[in-house]
Amino acid sequence: MKPLFILLIFSAWTFIGAQYYYQGLMDYLENRLLAIEDRMQFWSEQYHQYHTEMLAFKELTAVTIDGLKSDHSNMFKDLEGASLRVDLAEKEMDYVEIQTSPRACANRADKVVEHEAWGLQDREEEEDGDWEDLQSKVSDCVEIISGIRSVKILKRVGSPKGMWTRDPRSSKVYVFNGTSGDTVFQFNSVRDFSRSLGVEGTTSIQLPSEWSGPGSAVHNGYLYYVQQDTDTDVQVVKYDLLNGSVTEAAIFPVDSHASLYSLNPETFADLAADDQGLWLLYAASDSEPNISLAKMDTATLDIEEIWDTRCPRENAEAAFVICGIVYVVYNTRLASRSRVQCLFDVNDMVVSQEAPLLYFPRRYGAHASLKYNPEEKQLYGWDDGYQIIYRLTMKRKLLV
C-alpha cells in the first residue's frame, strides 16, 4: 500500500512539474511571437514609408526628365536656328565676296574709261601707248580666282601634314606623306586614290635623295622637289617620272634656314606650277618678314627673275600661284577659317587692296599644302591628314 502511495505522489509531482514546464514554454513562445509581430509591424511601417518616398521621388524624377526633354528640344531648335543663320551669313558673305571680287589687271586706261574722263586726243594717244605696254606684259596671264565653287573631302590617309597633287598632263596622282622622306606614292587616278585603303600597296617611287617639306610639285611628267643639304642651301631637284632619273638639280642659296610659313615651320621652300611654268616661294632670311618669289626655267632650273611679294610670312599657312599671281593663305594659331589675305602679281596688275578676302570653308586645322592644277582649275589641299579638292571659279582678266 505504501509503495502505491509513493508512486501516486511522484506521479502527481511529475504532472505538476510538466505542467509548469509546458506553461513556461508556451509563455516563451508567445512572447517570441509577439516580438516577431512587433518587428513585422515595424518593417511594414518602414516599407510603407519607403514606398511612399520612392513614389514621390519617381514622380519628381519624371517631372525633371520631362523638363530636361523640353529644355533639350528648345536648345536643339535654337541650335538649328543658329546653324541656319550661320549658313545664311556664310552664303551672304560668299555672295559679297563674289560681288566685290578684285578688278583683275586693271590699268589706268580701264579706270579712265569707267569714269568717262577721256581728255584730249594727245592724252588718248598717250593712254593708248600705256595700254600697249601693259598688254604686252601680261599677254600670257588670262585668269584670276573669283571664288570657290565647291569642296570635296576625298578621304583621310597618312600623316597630319603632307602634300598630294595631280599631274596636269596625265591622270596620275602623287602623294607625299609627311614632311620628309625619299618615297612618293603614285596612283593611276583620283578615283583609285579615293578607293585605296592607304598609301601602302600601290606604286611607290624611290627617289635618289630625300625631299624636305610638303613643297614639291609635279608638272608635265616631271617631279620637282626641294632638298635641304645644309642650313643655308636649298637644292631644287628635277626628276623624270617616266625614265626614273634626275635630269637637273640647282642650288638656290638663302641666308639662313628660315621657315617660309610661320604656321608650317617644316616648309622652308615651296614649289608651285601654273600655266606660265615653275615658281619657287622661299624666305630670304629669318629677318625678312615677307615671302620671296622666284621664276624658274622648267628645263634648266635657272632663276629667271626674283620678287619680294610684300606678303608677310607671319600667320601664313600655304600659298599657290595661278597665272603669275601669288595667293597667300593665312590662318591663326588656334585654327580658324583659312583665307586668302594677300595677293601679289608679278606684272603689278593686281594688288591686295583690290582683292576681297577669299575664305575657304572651315575644315579641320590649317592647310599643310595647297597645289593648283591649271587643267582642272582645282586646288589639291592637305588639311590635318584630310585630302581635299577645291574647285575654283575663275574670271578672265580685263586686258585679255
Most confident region among 20-34, 40-54, 242-256, 368-382 by mean pLDDT = 368-382
| Residue, of 268 and 83, whose pLDDT is higher | 268
Is pLDDT above 70 for 309? yes
Q: Per-residue pLDDT for 159 more than 70?
A: yes
pLDDT tens digits for range 317-365? 999 999 889 999 998 877 778 889 888 988 877 655 556 568 888 777 8
Residue 237 · residue 224 · CB < 8 Å: yes
C-alpha cell at 133: 605696254
Instruction: Report, at the CATH architecture level, how domain 128-396 is classified.
Output: 6 Propeller (2.120)
What's the average model confidence in pLDDT over 250-277? 85
- What pLDDT digit, counting tens, does each position of 40-62 carry? 888 888 888 888 889 989 889 88
CB 173 within 8 A of CB 189: yes
Which cell is 144 given?
A: 584670276
Q: What's the confidence (pLDDT) of residue 17?
A: 67
pLDDT tens string 234-256: 789 999 999 999 999 998 766 66
Q: Indicate the helix (H) or strand (E) that contains 341.
A: strand 339-345
Burial of 252 (0-12, 13-18, 19+ CB in 10 A): middle
Q: Which residue has the cell 538649328?
A: 80
Residue percentage of the chain with pLDDT more than 70: 77
Range scoring the smallest mean pLDDT among 17-26, 207-216, 274-283: 17-26
